[in-house]
Structure formats: structure tokens, C-alpha cells
Amino acid sequence: METGFIPPHGGYRKLLSYQKAEVIYDLTFRFCQRFLRRGDRTIDQMVQAARSGKQNIAEGSQAAGTSKEMEIKLTNVARASLEELLVDYQDFLRVRDLPLWPRDSKEAEFVRRLGRTPNATYETYRQFCDTRPPEVVANIAICLIHQTNYLLDRQLRRLEQDFVREGGLRERMTRVRLQHRSAVR
């Protein structure tokens, strides 16, 4: 018999989407320091979009115990924030006439392979991001954002399936209460 109605939640640090979002935040913070001029409003926009991507994954995961709806909403906010950041990096390249790597380029494939490193952190990418020119670092960020957005899209589909299968908090509360009543009789 079920004994509680608040399922395990949190654990966002184990989510690959969160780990990659953290790398994106660290990379974006450093990118803005190195390649954008102080006072450029884009700095705040990019850093906040990267932060929002990471923080909303964490907040959604923590809210999951009592609100699947909130978890889905916040995960979607994370996805939307990273999409905004993706466009900022693409704009950076476009307005400076810098190349955007094709998806099947050897450089993009290298970044995807690097992204499969278990427990990857910014340190996994540091040697490339701290020493390369802006067009390379922006393209690395773009590759990482695409990977993270793919993971978040999958995560959202899974959250939707879980909600359909298990319901929300009120449904779980009702199930537990009815089970309790049946056991008492």
C-alpha cells in the first residue's frame, strides 16, 4: 500500500540537462567577459538567459514533489531561455559576418563527442573556450545549447507522459486517502 503522496523530487544535479545547462552558464559568463564590451546590454541578456536555463531546471525539479504542472512549466521556461540564448549567439556570429558551423562539420561533431564525456563540466571545455577566438567559442556554445535543448525536449515529453500516467498532487492525495479508508474498515 502507498504510504505517501509526495514523490521523491529534486535530484536535479543528476540530470544531464542540468549539467549541460551549468556548462552553458559558465561558458556564457566567460564569453561575455572576453568578447563583449562593458556596458553592452547583451551581456546582461545573455548571462540572465543562461542563468534562467540552469536555475529553472533546478527549481522545476524541486517543485516536482507537489506540482507536476509547475515542474513542466519551469522546465519549459528553461527550454525557452536557452532558445533565447541560442539566438543571441547566432546573432553574435551573423552581425559580425562570422561563420556558423554546419551541423555535420567536423568541429560540431567534435563538440558533440566531447559532450558525451561523463560528468562533463566547464573544465571539459576550458582549453577550447579560454583560448580560441570568439567565433569558435560561440559555435561551441551553440552546439551545447542544441544538445541541452534536445535533452529538455525529451524531458518535457517524459514529464507529460508521467503526468498522464500518475496524475497530479490532488489525484495522488485522493488515492492515498481512499487507500487509507479502505485499510481502516
Q: How far is CA 151 from CA 3, 97, 110, 155, 180, in A?
A: 32, 30, 18, 6, 38
**What pLDDT, on a 0 to 100 scale, did the predictor assign at position 2?**
47
**Please, which residues have CB within 8 angstroms of residue 166's CB and are 6 or more apart in sequence?**
7, 68, 172
pLDDT at 92 over 50: yes
Q: Taking residues 149-162, what's their average pLDDT?
A: 95
Domain ranges of the chain: 12-184
Per-residue three-class SS string for 6-33: CCCCCCHHHCHHHHHHHHHHHHHHHHHH
Half-sphere exposure of 102 (CA within 13 A, CB side): 3
Residue-averaged pLDDT of the chain = 91
Number of C-beta neighbours around residue 76 at 10 A: 17
C-alpha cell at 37: 564590451
Q: Going along 61-133, which residue ranges are E strands?
A: none
**What pLDDT, on a 0 to 100 scale, did the predictor assign at position 1?**
40
What confidence tens digit (pLDDT) does each residue in 99-132 have? 999 999 999 999 999 999 999 999 999 999 999 9
**Per-residue pLDDT band at 172 (split at 50, 70, 90):** low
What confidence tens digit (pLDDT) does each residue in 32-85 have? 999 999 999 999 999 999 999 999 999 999 988 778 889 999 999 999 999 999
Q: Taking residues 158-170, what's their average pLDDT?
A: 80
Q: Record the pTM.
A: 0.87
Q: Taking residues 137-151, what's their average pLDDT?
A: 98
**Per-residue pLDDT band at 164 (split at 50, 70, 90):** confident
**What pLDDT, on a 0 to 100 scale, did the predictor assign at position 5?**
61
- DSSP summary character for residue 3: -
